[in-house]
């Protein structure tokens, strides 16, 4: 048992991570690293056209090759293999589900058609070339507005339309607000299609144990329990015959909280062959089959009074959902529609959100999931309004903010799966003030003026937002004290870089007054952790952490109760600290956690009310959404000759309630900001009119490299949420939520006076030069 130095709490401290030494030595075990005896390798045949009937699919030359162990097409799938489900369906959602393997029709370049299994990946890929596919090509539709026209090609004949969901939000009396407004602004704001693009692609190893009648599935996933449940449904295999394990996962960002066809066919192959089968996605496949993100249009109208107070807001949201409903398909539209008004009072608001099918890769969630697009749209409007009315952009926001004493504030909107939007706690005005201080706003404005005199263009941009985090329905934790005195924590959270092992060790260690090394955190394995939800939507710190805290608290009580019985002293006279229970005022009379655990083990007799083992399981249920919030401020320089944008400085004041580990939270914010920067300045998934992806590699799809980014300064406010015992809100996504807004506002600010209005991303050099030249021509 390691000694605790003093009684300093670990929660709140920037302790370095326990995960790191193993990873630093190359000891990580990602799905591609898993080797099992008899392992076979799979390769997936994917559609090379965007929309076609499969006229011929001839696998015989592949199947009869001596290297082939198995070739599976849709025709060979077991009777009753269900299509892939969507878990965020709303009442109106149409069933545009993706079949596990395409049968008669393919709907996007990259769609899986067949799987080949061989002794090596090389052989499997060679065998793909022996499969003959003939396509009767159909006219594809790539643009969502075109897809909604009555004569547009239909993605799914039986559905009669390419619109797969319509939702709406409505608060107050928007018509009246607009009728009485002093000014009305309307803009079309567009966000492009881009991608989570974790450094580790997807992958699965499926191992069917014929003797036990059980399947083990290793998958690079963010939600092993949900995956198990969904797989059970699609395969028709009861859950107790499935074990899902998330090994070390090299980033997820939402693209891995999805249930994919490969997670079905590779297990089926293993079950057929009675040998383990591995499939590791290559980067090209990741570009054309892992969920895409963001692509959304906002047709906004804002009604404003003479002082710049927003009295009404209307939005028509159109999301390009790609060819099918994926697992979390409606969420980006739902979230965008629900939080668009942001931290502003806006009493009258209505939105309609339409999810539309096109012949692109299916779209789902990516860090922020609807927030980045909506915040971008709203914050762009704020700056456009500020410029038009001659009000400083920070001042305009201050005039419109919900004040701290108005919280909890019922937004009047709802988010699918998560519930009602009621802002729980926070101080938006103070957050903006501190962010301006952090960046040195007045100095930056002076610098901007000086630079202009020198013919240089520097701009300052603000992005304020409120963000749904800590969603339910619950998270699980089991805490147990071993006879050695060591603490075991089993969590349903499934980390992929967020440091949960460290954070949950801090929480648990604090409950017992022990050191971090006295705790082991176990996650990712559905055989070891019975129930769980997983890591996405910024929920694991607050919800997973609360479950750990509550389970640990119950185990604490058990320790005290057992000690009371053994020491024959009332629990009021006992204290648990520094890894032991002692009698207050009688220092020699104590029991260590190890002694207590040993006494709690069977077959020791126990007092009434105590069961064997010092163990407790809690499923922490979420009473409501916790809303994190932040202000981002960007300072950029724009080269008007090349269109290049150079971010100079970046600051974030971020409030995610009580912090377990500020170092980890800083890392999350910084990482998110840079992903947002990528999506704002660099990244776009480009398709041509025939539906071919044009830049499906790192050579042409540019994610930020170290030279593209400024240092990102993060400061924290900690306004606890009343919604969980730890007071925590989620912190994983916010960086990506505020950055497109802050950066684009900065670019436009840099070009103030040139007549440049930016309404879409990415702000590539070409796009910006085009706007600059158009503005010049118009003057």
Partner 1 sequence: MTLADFLREELDLTGTHLGCEQGVCGACTVHVDGRTARSCILLAVHVDGAEVTTIEGIAGDGPLTAVQQGLWEKHGMQCGFCTSGFVMTITELLALHPEPTEEEILDALGGNLCRCTGYTKIVEAVHEAARLASGARSEGRAA
Smallest Cα–Cα separation from 647: which of 706, 714, 734?
706
In contact, 259 and 290? CB cutoff 8 Å: no
Residue 517 binds to partner 1 (criterion: CB under 8 A): no
CB 678 → partner 1: shortest distance, Å?
9
Residue 675 binds to partner 1 (criterion: CB under 8 A): yes
C-alpha span between 555 and 548 (Å, rounded): 11
The only residue of 566, 663, 715, 775 in contact with partner 1, by rule CB under 8 A: 663
CB 699 → partner 1: shortest distance, Å?
6
Which CB sits closer to partner 1, 269 or 674? 674
Taking each helix axis from N to C end, the angle separating 441-453 and 428-439, rounded to the nearest 10 degrees, works out to: 50
Tell me the three state secondary structure of residue 395.
helix
C-alpha span between 546 and 659 (Å, rounded): 12
The angle formed by the CA atoms of residues 280, 329 and 229, to the nearest 5 degrees, is: 60
Tell me which residue has tokens 């503005």. 775
Residue 200 binds to partner 1 (criterion: CB under 8 A): yes
DSSP 275: S
Taking each helix axis from N to C end, the angle separating 262-273 and 224-235, rounded to the nearest 10 degrees, works out to: 60
Residue 104 binds to partner 1 (criterion: CB under 8 A): no
Smallest Cα–Cα separation from 356: which of 100, 162, 131?
162
Residue 664 binds to partner 1 (criterion: CB under 8 A): yes
Tell me which residue has tokens 């170092």. 663
Residues from 479 through 498 that contact partner 1 (CB under 8 A): 496-498
Residue 646 binds to partner 1 (criterion: CB under 8 A): no
Tokens of 196: 């989570």
CB 199 → partner 1: shortest distance, Å?
4
> Among 49-57, 181-189, 698-706, 749-757, which window interacts with partner 1 (CB under 8 A)?
698-706
CB 387 → partner 1: shortest distance, Å?
30
Residue 237 binds to partner 1 (criterion: CB under 8 A): no
Which CB sits closer to partner 1, 279 or 401? 279
Residue 160 burial (10 A CB sphere; 0-12, 13-18, 19+): exposed
Residue 26 binds to partner 1 (criterion: CB under 8 A): yes
C-alpha span between 261 and 289 (Å, rounded): 10
Which CB sits closer to partner 1, 185 or 284? 284
Which CB sits closer to partner 1, 697 or 770? 697
Residue 707 binds to partner 1 (criterion: CB under 8 A): yes
CB 23 → partner 1: shortest distance, Å?
3
Residue 723 binds to partner 1 (criterion: CB under 8 A): no
Residue 674 binds to partner 1 (criterion: CB under 8 A): yes
Residue 406 binds to partner 1 (criterion: CB under 8 A): no
Residue 198 binds to partner 1 (criterion: CB under 8 A): yes
Residue 609 binds to partner 1 (criterion: CB under 8 A): no
CB 502 → partner 1: shortest distance, Å?
10
The only residue of 672, 691, 734, 740 in contact with partner 1, by rule CB under 8 A: 672
DSSP 394: H
C-alpha span between 406 and 425 (Å, rounded): 9
Residue 627 binds to partner 1 (criterion: CB under 8 A): no
Q: Which helix (H) or strand (E) holds 110?
A: none
C-alpha span between 223 and 246 (Å, rounded): 8
C-alpha span between 438 and 655 (Å, rounded): 14
Residue 666 binds to partner 1 (criterion: CB under 8 A): yes
C-alpha span between 570 and 552 (Å, rounded): 21
- Binding to partner 1 by CB under 8 A, coded x per residue (else -) over 70-99, reads ------------------------------
- DSSP per position, 125-158: HHHHTT-EEEEEE------HHHHTSTTSPPSSGG
Residue 706 binds to partner 1 (criterion: CB under 8 A): yes
Residue 32 binds to partner 1 (criterion: CB under 8 A): yes
Residue 695 binds to partner 1 (criterion: CB under 8 A): no
Which CB sits closer to partner 1, 29 or 420? 29
- DSSP per position, 496-535: SSS-HHHHHHHHHHHHHT--GGGEEEEESBTTTS-S---S
Residue 110 binds to partner 1 (criterion: CB under 8 A): no
The only residue of 17, 360, 380, 411 in contact with partner 1, by rule CB under 8 A: 17
Q: How many residues bind partner 1 (CB under 8 A)?
A: 54
Pairing of strands 409-415, 419-423: antiparallel
Rg of the chain's alpha carbons, rounded to an integer?
Answer: 28
Tokens of 191: 């966000």
Which CB sits closer to partner 1, 188 or 283? 283
- Binding to partner 1 by CB under 8 A, coded x per residue (else -) over 241-260, reads -------xxxx-x-------
CB 650 → partner 1: shortest distance, Å?
9
The only residue of 2, 21, 612, 642 in contact with partner 1, by rule CB under 8 A: 21
CB 622 → partner 1: shortest distance, Å?
25
Distances (CA, A) of 327 to 6, 84, 264, 343, 628: 48, 8, 14, 29, 25
HEC assignment per residue over 309-343:
CEEEEEEEEEEECCCCECCCCCHHHHHHHHHCCCC
> Among 130-138, 148-156, 451-459, 703-711, which window interacts with partner 1 (CB under 8 A)?
703-711
Residue 25 binds to partner 1 (criterion: CB under 8 A): yes
The only residue of 9, 27, 446, 642 in contact with partner 1, by rule CB under 8 A: 27
Give the burial string for 176-188 (b: 16+ CB within 10 Å, else e). ebbeebeeebebe
Residue 197 binds to partner 1 (criterion: CB under 8 A): yes
Which CB sits closer to partner 1, 258 or 578? 258
Tokens of 278: 């591995």
Residue 471 burial (10 A CB sphere; 0-12, 13-18, 19+): buried
CB 369 → partner 1: shortest distance, Å?
17
Which CB sits closer to partner 1, 404 or 662? 662
Which CB sits closer to partner 1, 33 or 187? 33
CB 437 → partner 1: shortest distance, Å?
20
105: number of Cβ within 10 Å: 18
Residue 372 binds to partner 1 (criterion: CB under 8 A): no
φ/ψ of residue 202, rounded to 5 = -80, 170
Residue 300 binds to partner 1 (criterion: CB under 8 A): no
Which CB sits closer to partner 1, 203 or 261? 203
> Among 308-316, 604-612, 627-635, 669-677, which window interacts with partner 1 (CB under 8 A)?
669-677
Residues from 322 through 361 that contact partner 1 (CB under 8 A): none
The only residue of 5, 24, 777, 778 in contact with partner 1, by rule CB under 8 A: 24
Contact positions vs partner 1 (CB under 8 A): 16-17, 19-21, 23-30, 32-33, 35, 197-201, 248-251, 253, 282-283, 496-499, 663-664, 666-667, 670-675, 697-699, 703-707, 709, 711-712, 735
């Amino acid at each position: 048992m390691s000694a605790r130095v003093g009684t300093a709490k670990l929660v709140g401290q920037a302790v370095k991570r326990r995960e790191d030494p193993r990873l630093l030595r190359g000891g990580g075990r990602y799905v591609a690293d898993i080797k099992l005896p008899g392992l076979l390798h799979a390769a997936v045949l994917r559609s090379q056209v965007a929309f076609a009937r499969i006229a011929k699919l001839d696998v015989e030359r592949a199947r009869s090759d001596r290297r082939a162990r198995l070739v599976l097409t849709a025709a060979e799938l077991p009777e009753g293999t269900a299509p892939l489900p969507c878990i965020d369906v709303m009442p109106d959602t149409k069933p545009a589900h993706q079949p596990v393997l395409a049968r008669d029709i393919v709907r996007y370049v990259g769609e899986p058609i067949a799987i080949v299994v061989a002794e090596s990946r090389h052989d499997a890929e060679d065998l793909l070339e022996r499969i003959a596919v003939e396509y009767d090509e159909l006219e594809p539709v790539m643009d969502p507005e075109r897809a909604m026209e009555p004569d547009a090609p239909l993605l799914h004949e039986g559905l009669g339309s390419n619109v797969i969901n319509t939702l709406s939000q409505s608060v107050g009396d928007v018509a009246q607000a607009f009728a009485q407004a002093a000014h009305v602004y309307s803009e079309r704001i567009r966000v492009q299609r881009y991608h989570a693009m974790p450094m580790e692609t997807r992958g699965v190893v499926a191992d069917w144990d014929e003797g036990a009648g059980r399947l083990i599935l290793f998958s690079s996933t963010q939600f092993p329990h949900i995956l198990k449940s969904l797989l059970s449904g699609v395969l028709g295999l009861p859950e107790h015959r499935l074990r899902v394990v998330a090994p070390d996962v090299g980033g997820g960002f939402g693209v891995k909280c999805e249930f994919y066809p490969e997670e079905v066919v590779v297990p089926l192959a293993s079950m057929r062959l009675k040998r383990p089968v591995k499939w590791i996605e290559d980067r090209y496949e990741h570009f054309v089959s892992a969920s895409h993100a963001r692509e959304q249009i906002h047709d906004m109208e804002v009604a404003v009074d003479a002082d710049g107070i927003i009295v009404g807001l209307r939005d028509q949201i159109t999301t390009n959902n790609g060819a099918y409903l994926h697992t979390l398909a409606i969420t980006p539209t739902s979230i965008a529609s629900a939080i668009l008004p942001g931290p502003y009072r806006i009493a009258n608001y209505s939105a309609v959100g339409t999810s539309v099918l096109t012949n692109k890769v299916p779209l789902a969630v990516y860090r922020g999931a609807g927030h980045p697009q909506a915040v971008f749209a709203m914050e762009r409007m704020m700056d456009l309004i500020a410029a038009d009315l001659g009000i400083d952009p920070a001042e305009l926001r201050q005039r419109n903010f919900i004040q701290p004493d108005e919280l909890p504030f019922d937004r009047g909107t709802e988010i699918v799966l998560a519930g009602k939007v009621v802002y729980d706690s926070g101080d938006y005005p103070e957050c903006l003030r501190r962010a301006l201080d952090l960046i040195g706003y007045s100095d930056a404005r002076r610098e901007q003026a000086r630079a202009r005199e020198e013919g240089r263009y520097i701009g300052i941009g603000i992005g304020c937002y409120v963000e749904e985090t800590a969603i339910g329905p619950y998270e699980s934790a089991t805490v147990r004290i071993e006879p050695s005195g060591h603490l075991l924590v089993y969590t349903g959270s499934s980390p992929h870089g967020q440091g949960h092992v460290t954070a949950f060790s801090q929480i648990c260690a604090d409950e017992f007054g022990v050191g971090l090394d006295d705790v082991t955190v176990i996650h990712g394995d559905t055989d070891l952790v019975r129930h769980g939800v997983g890591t996405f939507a910024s929920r694991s710190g607050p919800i997973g952490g609360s479950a750990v805290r509550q389970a640990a608290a119950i185990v604490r009580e058990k320790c005290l109760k057992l000690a009371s019985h053994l020491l024959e002293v009332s629990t009021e006279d006992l204290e648990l600290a520094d890894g032991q229970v002692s009698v207050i005022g009688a220092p020699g009379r104590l029991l260590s956690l190890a002694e207590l655990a040993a006494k709690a083990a069977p077959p020791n007799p126990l007092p009434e009310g105590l069961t064997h083992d010092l163990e407790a399981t809690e499923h922490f249920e979420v009473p409501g959404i916790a809303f994190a919030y932040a202000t981002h401020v960007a300072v950029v320089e724009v080269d008007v000759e090349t269109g290049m944008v150079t971010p100079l400085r970046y600051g974030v004041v971020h409030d995610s309630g009580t912090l377990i580990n500020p170092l980890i939270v800083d890392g999350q914010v910084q990482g998110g900001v840079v992903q947002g920067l990528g999506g704002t300045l660099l990244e776009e998934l480009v398709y041509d009119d025939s539906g071919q992806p044009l830049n499906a590699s790192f050579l042409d799809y540019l994610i930020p490299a170290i030279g593209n980014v400024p240092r990102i300064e993060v400061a924290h406010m900690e306004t606890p949420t009343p919604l969980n015992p730890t007071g925590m809100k989620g912190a994983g996504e916010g960086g990506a939520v505020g950055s497109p807004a802050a950066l684009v506002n900065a670019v436009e600010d840099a070009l103030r006076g040139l007549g440049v209005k930016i309404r879409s991303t990415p702000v590539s050099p070409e796009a910006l030069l085009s706007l600059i030249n158009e503005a010049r021509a118009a003057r």
